[in-house]
Amino acid sequence: MPQEYKLLLKHADADGYSNDLECYERHGGYAALRQALTIAPAGDNTPQAQLRKRVLDSGLRGRGGAGFSCGLKWSFVRHPNPKPVYLICNADESEPGTFKDRQIIYKDPHQLIEGMIISCWANHVNLAYIYIRGEFTEGAKILNTALAEARAKGYLGKDILGSGHDLEIHVHRGAGAYICGEETGLIESLEGKRAYPRIKPPYFPAALGLYMCPTIVNNVETLCNVKHIVEMGAEAFTKLGTPNNTGTRLVSLSGDVKNPGYFEIETGKVTLGELIHDENFGGGLREGRMLQAVIPGGSSSKVLKAGEIFKLGEEEIALLDVPYDFDTLMKIGTMSGSGAIIVIDDSRDIVECLANLAEFYAHESCGQCTPCREGSLWMNKALHRMTHGEGRAEDADYLKHIAQNIQGRTICAFGEACAWPVLSFVEKFRDEFEAKAK
Amino acid sequence: MPDEAKVEEPSVIETIAVKVDGKQVAVPKLTPDWQGKLVPTTVLQACKHAGIEIPHYCYHPKLPVAGNCRMCLVHVGMPGRPGPDGKPPMNEDGSLKIDPMVLPYERGTPKGVIGCATNLIPGMEIYASSPETKEMREAVLESLLINHPLDCTICDQAGECKLQEYSMEHGQAESQFAEQKVHKPKAVDLGPRIVLDAERCVLCTRCIRFSADIAGDDALGIVNRGSYNSIATFPGAPFDNNYTLNTADICPVGALTSKDFRFQMRVWFLKETNSLCTGCATGCNTVIGSRENKMYRQEPRENDAVNGPWMCDSGRLDYKWIGSEKRLSKLNGATDWTTILAEITTNLEKAAVTSVAIIASARQTNEELFLLKKLADKFEAITDSVPRNGEGDHLLVNADKNPNSNGARLIGIAGETLGANLPAIAEGIENGTIKSLIVFGEDVTQHGISAALLEKLDLLIVSDIFANATTARAHYLLPGCAYAEKRGTFTNVKGQVQKFMKALDAPGNARAEWEFLHELVENVTGQNGFSTIEGLFNQMAGEVDAFKAKELNWAALGDDGVTVEI
Ligand SMILES: Cc1cc2nc3c(=O)[nH]c(=O)nc-3n(C[C@H](O)[C@H](O)[C@H](O)COP(=O)(O)O)c2cc1C
Ligand code: SF4
Ligand code: SF4
Ligand code: SF4
Ligand code: FES
């Protein structure tokens, strides 16, 4: 029977574990940092370069949504750099269905801070920020307390543990907008402006990020993993999970399962079916219910329909047998995104489900660029018309037309995020949409 | 303009080869950005070089790039990524392989790039007029129009609206939109001079960027989210800097309008005349909009050597006096110009050398000052003009409020410090050495030559356009013209000699100063001058050193003018 594999969540929920520094240190905390700071130069390779290489070799991929190689992202920043390099921890966690980063922030904040300090050291960063979702008021307090503890102990501030490296980390609270999680929107917001995402090119954070300086933006979970890579070594990390899908993933499981919640799994070692049905995970659907659909990677990912069979090269694979990883989900036309699985059973009106999502996106579009600004509300209005008895035979194509006008034409990936649910729901459940015609 | 706006000239213009709509073109590798700095040429600029206009709303050559409207989306083909050997993929014939861009996650669907923010890559193919590009444009236009009130018939921008224009050129006949439109505030008072119709706004942020980045006033922003976004000011902080009206110029649609101009006149009825602002020594280039001898507005005319595309609000709105009822329009001293000029000539001929003084105005044109200088030379007259100082700012406004102080200096009417001779003139009148005074366009009683002194004169010849204490004492009063009623040139603070054209007829008997001065000079000096402004200018250009050095002539001034040494 598939099991959880607890790497990041090893202690968080353990009895008696608290989020203070003393408890963290008692459980071996900050040993990885000490280790990282004492790496000796090897030939031309600075300790920092060696660390970055380790992260690259570990195969760590971003846990914020896109699954981009963390080591590769770091390599885009030139060293030595004439400008200050910043690191930002993206703790905005707003993708509907996602509730994993907050587990660490609330229960094990020092794990994140240690991961950040190591990452800052590795990337020559002297000033870092944690951009935390506005609604996490308590989380912000916890982080600030933890940062103060770390500062008092010399893990932060001037000359960290005698390394000669200075580092300060500040917590910045968002003010309640999903778009603040998009990295360039986040940067604008951090600069005190409206969170209007920047155009890329030219504003790639690695070159022109915070205050137009090179900036690394990583998700909470990604940064925590850095600590474990240092602790266990890149080689051992690659043994976790599956090739190119290394390490563990925090999965947020919600919707129509008996046992919703968060789980940590080895990436790709557990299937969607197991996550939904196994006792160790979702525990199955409610009595008498059948699976209708699965949204596999946060509300922005393309929906999968119960019973779907996918072709992977020569092989065929059924929906429930899909291993939960980055690559397979991409190959079947969707993504594992933020690791949030939303299960929809047959009691749900699928058009209503989509209308609900569309409302979220219409409300959260920042409105900067034309296709998303106008299209997100347009789709929402159309869907709500349909769920209010005013559907038309042509609405499926109509929705598709609107969504196609958005994807690939916007400033930020919110365009895809709002178009993909519509495109996939309409494609896979066309009958349901057509059935809404008056 | 700020210093950084100066355009650097590349020593050799390097070019880059791209294909636009199948045609190979070589375009400059670098193009000036909004601040004049040379940066890599974009797809939009490359198309412009190739003679193809990419439609755009948010892009403005003199503003930072925003990339938000997506109107400039174009489908392009790119060279592939270099392989392990470091070489990009090649065709069989050895040429670079170019692949039309597709969505990375849906390889059958073409992907566009925004022309305004995408730099050229050697070998790039730009499908500026392809069906794929057209489809992207239509989609953006459709999105822009779904919530638009479509009230063009009552919109002030009609005829100058990019939304209207692009819908005709690039739009689909019909939108599929079947929902309720979003309603937003209309006729919002943003400040004393600007009104916003939020429903017509396409949220291109040109106005925001202009205010923040050019005018240096972070006064405008966007409130709400998504489709409800709306331009707004901070509560209690009206949009009120000295450059607000430029936002109405650059607003691509009818969302921002000038309170001064809105609903006054359909733009297509307006006659356009190139002119100059006379509000200060900067000499912003303008276009006057007039109809049936009435001036309705003046707008900035782009000239990078002077004002870029901008002008200040106070200069722009300083024109109402031109059509005033109070303008001087009657001759005083005789019934017609021939008689009055003959009488003045007779009187002047009696004047002894050095008994004449001339106070000209630095609001007069080079040509007028040149003719007055001829008169002055004849009588060895002492001359000067009146200084007019105020406050300048960081952008355009100059502390010298005369449009032609430099002209007065170069022509020799005034010295380095305008007004330095005025006390001597006052003294001359006082002690009786000066018996005749010629005054143009100034109320000298405000400048140290009292009414009592004027009363002492044997001969006071005055030309002006409004009555004042000086005109009241004139033996001969010659009604002159506002700048909009004549032609001529000014020399601005930087030495830019620029010309302006006639938009309106002068009221009643008023007459362009250069015309009657030309006659007077001919009468008095016996020299034969030129009776056209072009001829007069060219004659002056041959005699005034600074103009001679640049071999100026009227035609060569062009629309932008020429800089002379000051
Ligand atoms: C609309 C939108 C919202 C996003 N929200 C979040 C978020 O809440 N948290 C997050 O970590 N990443 C979010 N992202 C992804 C970030 O832009 C960025 O890719 C990520 O923080 C990079 O971290 P990683 O490489 O460690 O995954 C969002 C992206 C988009 C387009
Ligand atoms: S895609 Fe949507 S969220 Fe992103 S910049 Fe454009 S309007 Fe804003
Ligand atoms: S008011 Fe005009 S210039 Fe300003 S954002 Fe709207 S359309 Fe653009
Ligand atoms: S800056 Fe001077 S010349 Fe330019 S518009 Fe203003 S007043 Fe007129
Ligand atoms: S002109 Fe607006 S996106 Fe390029």
pLDDT for residue B173: 61
pLDDT for residue B3: 46
pLDDT at B5 over 50: no
Partners of B139 on chain A (C-beta within 8 Å) are: 371, 404-405, 409
Pocket (CB within 6 angstroms of ligand 2): A 179, 197, 365-369, 372-373, 410-412, 414-415
Query: Which one of A360, A385, A390, A409 makes the best mutation probe of the B interface by having the most chain B beta carbons within 10 Å?
Result: A409
Task: Find the residue in A nearest to B75 (Cα).
Answer: A409
Q: How far apart are CA A317 and CA A308, in angstroms?
A: 9
pLDDT at B486 over 60: yes
For residue B474, give the amino acid letter: A
From the centroid of its chain, how far is CA B387?
24
Q: State how many domains chain A has.
A: 3
CATH of the domain at A425: 1.20.1440.230
Partners of A416 on chain B (C-beta within 8 Å) are: 105
Q: Is residue A202 reached through a cis peptide bond, with omega within 30 degrees of 0 on the bond before it?
A: yes
pLDDT for residue A29: 97
Half-sphere exposure of B339 (CA within 13 A, CB side): 6
Cα A107 to middle of ligand 1, angstroms: 22
Q: How far apart are CA B336 and CA A221, in angstroms?
A: 92
- Report the nearest atom of ligand 5 relative to the CA of B44: 4
Cα A403 to middle of ligand 2, angstroms: 14
Give residue B4's pLDDT band: very low, low, confident or very high (50, 70, 90): very low
pLDDT at B460 over 70: yes
Query: What percent of chain B is predicted at pLDDT more than 70?
Result: 97
Cβ density class B120-151: b for 16+ within 10 Å, e for less = beebbbbbbebebbbbbbbbbbbbbbbbbeee
Average pLDDT of the residues of chain B: 94
pLDDT for residue B150: 85
Contact in structure between B375 and B525 (CB atoms under 8 Å): yes
Task: Find the residue in A nearest to B223 (Cα).
Answer: A194
Task: Pinpoint the alpha helices (H) of A126-198.
Answer: 137-152, 183-190
pLDDT for residue B82: 86
User: What are the tens digits of pLDDT across the range A128-181?
Assistant: 999 999 999 999 999 999 999 999 999 999 999 999 999 999 999 998 899 999
User: What are the tens digits of pLDDT across the range B18-72?
Assistant: 999 999 999 999 999 999 999 999 999 999 999 999 999 999 999 999 999 999 9
B325 exposure class (CB count in 10 Å sphere: 0-12, 13-18, 19+) = exposed
Task: Pinpoint the alpha helices (H) of B380-487.
Answer: 405-411, 422-431, 451-456
Same structural domain, A57 and A198: yes
Query: Which one of B225, B231, B253 makes the best mutation probe of the A interface by having the most chain A beta carbons within 10 Å?
Result: B225
pLDDT for residue B558: 96
Cα A183 to middle of ligand 1, angstroms: 6
pLDDT for residue B8: 53
User: What are the tens digits of pLDDT across the range B350-382?
Assistant: 999 999 999 999 999 999 999 999 999 999 999
pLDDT for residue A339: 98
CB contact under 8 A, A367 and B147: no
Backbone angles phi, psi at A294, to 5 degrees: -130, 130
Same structural domain, A308 and A396: no
Same structural domain, A311 and A215: no
Contact in structure between A352 and A387 (CB atoms under 8 Å): yes
Q: Which of A184, A211, A239 is the last residue of a domain?
A: A239
Residue in A199, A381, A405 nearest the CB of B139:
A405
Same structural domain, A254 and A339: yes
pLDDT for residue A389: 96
pLDDT at B510 over 50: yes
H or E segment and range at residue A116? helix A109-122
Shortest-distance Cα residue to atom 4 of ligand 3: B207
Task: Find the residue in B nearest to A392 (Cα).
Answer: B178
pLDDT for residue B263: 66
Average pLDDT on B80-92 reads 88
- Report the nearest atom of ligand 4 relative to the CA of B280: 2
Task: Find the residue in B nearest to A404 (Cα).
Answer: B139
Same structural domain, A340 and A262: yes
Measured at the CA of B514, the angle between CA B512 and CA B515, to 5 degrees, comes to 70
Ligand 4 pocket, residue B1 CB under 6 Å: no
Partners of B69 on chain A (C-beta within 8 Å) are: 369-370
pLDDT at B1 over 80: no
Q: Is there a domain that residue A47 lies in?
A: yes
For residue A22, give the amino acid letter: E
Partners of A405 on chain B (C-beta within 8 Å) are: 139-140, 142-143
pLDDT for residue B186: 93
Rounded to a whole number, what is the distance in Å from the CA of B60 to chain A's nearest CA?
A: 16
User: What are the tens digits of pLDDT across the range B181-200?
Assistant: 999 999 999 999 999 999 99
pLDDT at B95 over 90: no
CB contact under 8 A, A368 and B203: yes
Give residue B2's pLDDT band: very low, low, confident or very high (50, 70, 90): very low
Q: Is there a domain that residue A152 lies in?
A: yes
Q: Which of A345, A368, A401 is the last residue of a domain?
A: A345
Same structural domain, A138 and A263: no
Q: How far apart are CA A325 and CA A251, in angstroms?
A: 11
* Number of the ligand closest to the Cα of B205: 3
CB contact under 8 A, A366 and B65: no
* Number of the ligand closest to the Cα of B395: 4
Low-confidence spans in chain A with pLDDT less than 50: none
Q: Is there a domain that residue A148 lies in?
A: yes
pLDDT at B10 over 60: no
Q: Is there a domain that residue A184 lies in?
A: yes
CATH of the domain at A341: 3.10.20.600
Average pLDDT on B306-333 reads 95
Query: Which one of B56, B59, B105 makes the best mutation probe of the A interface by having the most chain A beta carbons within 10 Å?
Result: B105
Q: Is there a domain that residue A3 lies in?
A: no
* Number of the ligand closest to the Cα of A180: 1
List C-alpha distances in Å: A417 to A237, A245, A420, B105: 31, 23, 6, 13
- Report the nearest atom of ligand 3 relative to the CA of B220: 4
Rounded to 10 degrees, the C-alpha dihedral A364/A365/A367/A368 comes to: 120
Same structural domain, A333 and A370: no
pLDDT for residue A104: 98
Same structural domain, A318 and A382: no
Q: Is there a domain that residue A15 lies in?
A: no
Q: Name which residue leads in pLDDT, B545 or B335.
A: B545
Q: Are strands A291-295 and B188-189 parallel, antiparallel or unpaired?
A: unpaired
Pocket (CB within 6 angstroms of ligand 3): B 201-207, 231, 251-253, 255-256
Q: Is there a domain that residue A8 lies in?
A: no
pLDDT for residue B94: 86
CB contact under 8 A, A409 and B140: yes
A361 exposure class (CB count in 10 Å sphere: 0-12, 13-18, 19+) = buried
Residue in B67, B103, B176 nearest the CB of A411:
B67
pLDDT at B108 over 50: yes
Partners of B71 on chain A (C-beta within 8 Å) are: 370
Same structural domain, A361 and A226: no
CB contact under 8 A, A362 and B69: no
Q: Is there a domain that residue A4 lies in?
A: no
Pocket (CB within 6 angstroms of ligand 1): A 62-66, 68, 73, 90, 92-95, 178-179, 181-183, 217-219, 222, 412-414, 417
CB contact under 8 A, B226 and A401: no
Contact in structure between A320 and A262 (CB atoms under 8 Å): no
Tokens (6 digits) for B116: 């305004």
Q: Which of A239, A271, A300 is the last residue of a domain?
A: A239
Same structural domain, A110 and A208: yes
Ligand 4 pocket, residue B306 CB under 6 Å: no
Beta bridge partners of B461: B438, B476
Tokens (6 digits) for A213: 């300086």
CATH of the domain at A52: 3.40.50.11540
Phi and psi based region of residue B250 (left: phi greater than 0; alpha: psi -120 to 50; beta: remaining): alpha
Partners of B227 on chain A (C-beta within 8 Å) are: 362, 365, 367, 373-374, 376-378
Full residue range of the structural domain in which residue A359 is found: 350-434
Pick from B177, B69, B284, B345: which is nearest to A373 by CA?
B69
Same structural domain, A195 and A49: yes
Q: How far apart are CA A375 and CA A373, in angstroms?
A: 6
Cα A242 to middle of ligand 1, angstroms: 23
Same structural domain, A328 and A414: no
pLDDT for residue B7: 53
Most confident of the ranges B140-149, B173-182, B439-448: B439-448
Residue in A202, A370, A385 nearest the CB of B70:
A370
User: What are the tens digits of pLDDT across the range A335-353?
Assistant: 999 999 999 999 999 999 9
